[in-house]
Amino acid sequence: MNPLTALRRTPLAWRQTSHRPMRLLAAIAGVSFANVLVFFQLGLASGLYASQKRPLERLNGELVMVSRRYTNLGEPLNLPRSRLIQALGVQGVKAVTPLYIGKTDWLNRDSREKKQALIFGLSPENPALRIPEVTADPGQLLRPDGLFFDTLSKKAAGPVGQVVARDGYYDTELRGKRAVVNGLFTMGLTFAADINLLTSASNFKTWFPDQTSDDIQLGVIQLEAGVSPLQVQATLNSFLDPSVKVLTLKELEDVEVNHWRNNTSFGLIFNLGVLVGLVVGAIIVYQILYSDVSDHLPEYATMKAMGYSNGFVVGIIVQESLLLAALAFLPSLLLSMGLYALLARSTSLLIAMTLQRALAVFSLTLVIAAGSGWLATGKLRRLDPADIF
């Protein structure tokens, strides 16, 4: 009988996989655990990188002017206001608005604990960030010492949201000076700081007196309707001083993510986490199938003595590995989705399962499992039936 015909008629791989239910359940649990490790690392990395782009996605324009040496939002470099004025002379540019960015310590008035805060200075008449709460009442930014507090800031900042909702304000200190939170907004944190604050450009100088009004961190460029951002970008980059550059919002987001992925330890840690998950899965599959081959070596020797080729018997083991990978994927997917929901709720990170990620992990699982299955057949491939009988 043709071996391929026999394979089609008798699901040998499935029977080998399922004939010991407890071993099968242990294998599924092990491979699922490895998949969850991979999902966790990929989801956490994606969520952290997506969260890092939150302020950039709120920029109120189509192009952004930054220092030529700009690397990330948490370490902005100054550029002179005169460069923004130059950009106004380009056809298609509607307005250019500055965005001031600074870091300072925030004081939790109850615990006296200090946390790092990222302050954005806006021009109320044309804010560089699209913040609905500011748009609804821009006058609040102009109040002396006035601040808007991000409700998604870390809890260590104190019960700011509750106090503002109850009393209308929250008193604290920034750089040794009185500060009053009189408004709330929602944006979400980045790696740069534990707290996000908004204030007016004039108030910003109160807490950063070492910076002049000519020291701007980002220039947000707004264009006329129907104007090509790429065309205006090329024009601006062609004549502006080489110390600055103009980027599209997408390019600015890419710069931000690439910095954290390639120039910090985050990318290495996440990649190592994925690698560990894959290695764990490969070892589990290898151990299960190697034991299966060892337990049934006489049966496989009999098949080879009957004329079945190496490829046929090895194919049974590889099919077993693929079955294990497929059976373990759905539980790991469901567990990971639950883990994502828990992380998103407890950390406010933008973590969600995507079809692309699920397909990528499934494909990786199949490849790793097939490779482990093939490695587990080393003894089988070298087997001579005469050595058994």
Domain limits of the chain?
Answer: 3-52+265-388, 69-241
CB 86 within 8 A of CB 216: no
CA 44 to chain centroid:
6
Return all residues near 142 (Cβ < 8 A) that are at least 6 apart.
Answer: 124, 200, 202, 203
* Cα-Cα-Cα-Cα dihedral sign, residues 163, 169, 175, 176: negative
Structure tokens given for 27? 């294998």
pLDDT of residue 24: 78
Instruction: Judge whether residue 7 has pLDDT over 50.
Output: no
Q: Between 144 and 80, whose confidence is greater? A: 80
- Integer-rounded Cα Rg, in Å, for the chain is 30
64-73, 94-103, 221-230, 369-378, range with the lowest pLDDT: 369-378
d(CA 370, CA 16): 16
Q: For the chain, give the mean pLDDT.
A: 84
For residue 300, the 8-state DSSP code is H
Higher-confidence position of 264 and 5? 264
For residue 133, pLDDT beyond 70: yes
Average pLDDT over residues 112-124: 88
pTM listed for this prediction: 0.77
**Of residues 372, 388, 219, the one with CA closest to residue 291:** 372
The residue ranking higher by pLDDT, 312 or 96, is 96
Over range 9-34, report the average pLDDT: 76
Buried b (16+ CB within 10 A) or exposed e, 53-82: bbbbebbbbbbbbbbeebbbbbebeebbbe
Would you state the pLDDT for residue 130? 92
Residues 179-219 have pLDDT tens digits of: 889 889 999 888 788 899 999 888 888 888 887 767 889 99
Q: Quickly list H helices, the chain.
A: 3-9, 12-18, 21-52, 54-57, 81-88, 132-136, 160-167, 201-207, 229-239, 249-262, 265-295, 297-305, 310-347, 355-376, 378-381, 385-388
